[in-house]
Each structure stands twice: as C-alpha cells, then as structure tokens.
Amino acid sequence: MDAIEVKNLTKRFNSKGGFAAVDHISFSVADGEIFGLLGPNGAGKTTLIKILTTLLKPSSGMAKVAGFDVSKDKEKVRESIGIVFQEPALDWRLTGRENLDFHARMYGIKRSERDARVEEALKLVELEDKVDIVTDKYSSGMKRRLELARGFIHNPKVLFLDEPTMGLDTHTRRRIWDYIKELNESEGVTIVLTTHQMEEADYLCERVGIMDSGKIIALDTPQNLKDLIGSDLVSLEININRGSYDYAVFKKLDFVTDFIAHDGFVTLKMERGDLRIPAIMEVANKSGIEIKSVNLRKPSLEDVFLHFTGRRIRE
C-alpha cells in the first residue's frame, strides 16, 4: 500500500474560483520512500503539506495518508503522522528532554516506553549531552535536530518535513541531511519533505516532484530528471553591456541539441561538451558576441526547473 495517495487535489483560497495554491495535483508516495517537493517559495508546497496533515481542507480532489482520507478520517491521519514545521515550534522554556517527554505524553505513550523513546531519539540526533539545557540556549542547528527527534518520537508512519534546513549553515545542513537518512533507514518511516534547495532534494530524495504555480510540472528520480536535459551543458556568460546579440547562431551548430538564452547567459546542451568549446568560441567571435566566461557542467535540478518553466527557481 502506498503511504500517500493524491488524486486531482486542489486548494483555492477564493470561493469564486480564483487563485489555486494547489492546482489539480496527483501523485503517490511509496511506503518507506523519501519523497521531495521541490520548488520556489509560493509554489504551493507548504499548502499541499498542510492539506496532507489535515491543517487545511482541500477544495476538491482526494488525498489519503497511511490509508486514511485527510477529509474524512482526520484523527486517524494525525495519529499516523509526525511533522516538523518550517518555523520553530519548540517550547523554549523547557529542556530538550522535557520537550520530547511532553510530546510523547500528548500521544499517550506509556512511561516505560516513553523514557526509552526519548533516549533513543536523543541518541539519533546526537543531543544526549544537551538534554537538560533549556532549548532557548540551543543553537539553530540543535533546535532543528531536536524538532526532528520530536517529530518521530511517537513512531509515525509518515513524517513531514517543511523546509527542514532553512536558514542553517552548510555544515549543519549536511548533518541534518544525514539524520534524515538515518531516520528513514533505521525507523523505516516514510518521509515527505519540501525544499527550494536543489542540492538537498538531489542528496536526500528517491523521487522529486517539481512544483510551480500550484502544479507538479515534473516527477521522477533526480537522475532521470537530469537525464531529460542531456549529458553536458555549456553555459556562456555574455557581456550584455556591449549591445544586443543574435544568439540563434549557436542553434545552427549541429552538435547543439537544445538552447536557452536567459538573463545574460546562454546555455547549450550537447554531447561531449569538453570537445565542443573551441567551435562555440569560434562562432561567438565571428558573430561579435563577447563572452565573459564559459562553464562546462553536468545538468542539475536547477536546469530541469529552467527547462520546464523558462526561469530559475530563485526567481
């Protein structure tokens, strides 16, 4: 059985049929999978998570989490899930241990099991030596790790993580990623996370749904999505201060399979890009196109987003 099943799900915030934050979305998440929703701020990721966690009622369509309908079986859904919100939700007056203990009590976990679960959770996120410190004294990374521990302490079937590493430095972000993977492997919990960080989705997720304007515009494994683009990308930074250019000259090269001109950059898709750069430079020189820099790379999820939307995710 799939951990999550979504069919034609829609959420409108205007009863007269106006703006759709979630627009006729359909997808499923397998039991035990790490599934990512990738997209810019405002794409509809958080709204979708709120529907799946019963915090918002859908306008139409159907969604099931752990086999329970999010509209008809809200209590069953809530018993089956854990969630780490985008904004911190710890009680800063309590210690790390007290935060976890209180959360476990709310889920009715018995004392003997509760103590064991608290210790296990703290060990996984490496906070054993910080358990008796009030969380107001925790760093941002420590707070995030404690929230992860709290999210799975009651053994949920599905754990939702909304922008789990937002605002963290690179080192701390990497550690959180490792905790998420360890949690998935050791507990067997299905994890659904939202992110606008390409590297995060690529590193963590078995499959990624790319969202934009309330729709899922692409869904597959990160590698399959990148394979849609091609084997190599040559990105040219153009000196646009020297005037306008006819970038179509690059399309005439027989080895160029696709072409995108965007905000002072021209991206060319091809095989064996390392051998093609001299020919590209020759065409640019003959056409009077001044190139500031050349970058050869493999496709990223950023390129996938640009391919489908014509803009970068940061925009």
Which domain CATH number covers 244? 3.30.70.100
Give the residue among 157, 159, 153 at the shortest CA–CA distance from 109: 153
308 inside domain: no
- My answer on whether 265 and 215 are in the same domain is no
Give the residue among 41, 53, 45, 39 at the shortest CA–CA distance from 22: 45
Residue 82 CB neighbours (<10 A): 24
| Average confidence score pLDDT of the chain | 89
Has residue 33 got a pLDDT over 90?
yes
Question: Which domain range does residue 270 map to?
Answer: 230-298
Q: Which residues 6+ apart lie within 8 Å of 250 measured at CB?
A: 256, 259, 266, 268, 280, 283, 284
314 inside domain: no
The answer to whether 100 touches 82, Cβ cutoff 8 Å, is no
312 inside domain: no
Separation between Cα atoms, residue 32 and residue 168, nearest integer Å: 26
266 inside domain: yes
Strands 158-162 and 20-29: unpaired
- My answer on whether 151 and 133 are in the same domain is yes
Has residue 62 got a pLDDT over 90?
yes
Higher pLDDT, 36 or 85: 36
- My answer on whether 84 and 174 are in the same domain is yes
Has residue 281 got a pLDDT over 80?
yes
pTM surpassing 0.75?
A: yes
Mean pLDDT of 293-297: 91
- Note the pLDDT tens digit of each residue in 92-141: 899 999 999 999 998 888 888 998 889 888 888 888 898 899 999 999 88
**The predicted structure's pLDDT at residue 242:** 66
Which residues pair with residue 219 across a beta bridge? Answer: 209
**The predicted structure's pLDDT at residue 314:** 66
pLDDT band for position 15 (50/70/90)? low
When mean pLDDT is compared across 11-25, 163-177, 295-309, the lowest value belongs to 11-25
- My answer on whether 187 and 243 are in the same domain is no
What is the CATH classification number for the domain harbouring 208? 3.40.50.300
- Note the pLDDT tens digit of each residue in 215-243: 999 999 999 998 888 778 899 998 877 66
Has residue 260 got a pLDDT over 90?
no
DSSP string, 234-278: EEEEE-GGG----GGGGGGSTT--EEEEETTEEEEEESSHHHHHH
305 inside domain: no
Domains of the chain: total? 2
Q: Which residues 6+ apart lie within 8 Å of 81 measured at CB?
A: 53, 65, 66, 156, 157, 158, 159, 160
150 inside domain: yes
Has residue 294 got a pLDDT over 90?
yes
**The predicted structure's pLDDT at residue 211:** 92
174 inside domain: yes
pLDDT band for position 251 (50/70/90)? confident
**The predicted structure's pLDDT at residue 312:** 76
- My answer on whether 18 and 100 are in the same domain is yes
**The predicted structure's pLDDT at residue 315:** 58
- My answer on whether 211 and 235 are in the same domain is no
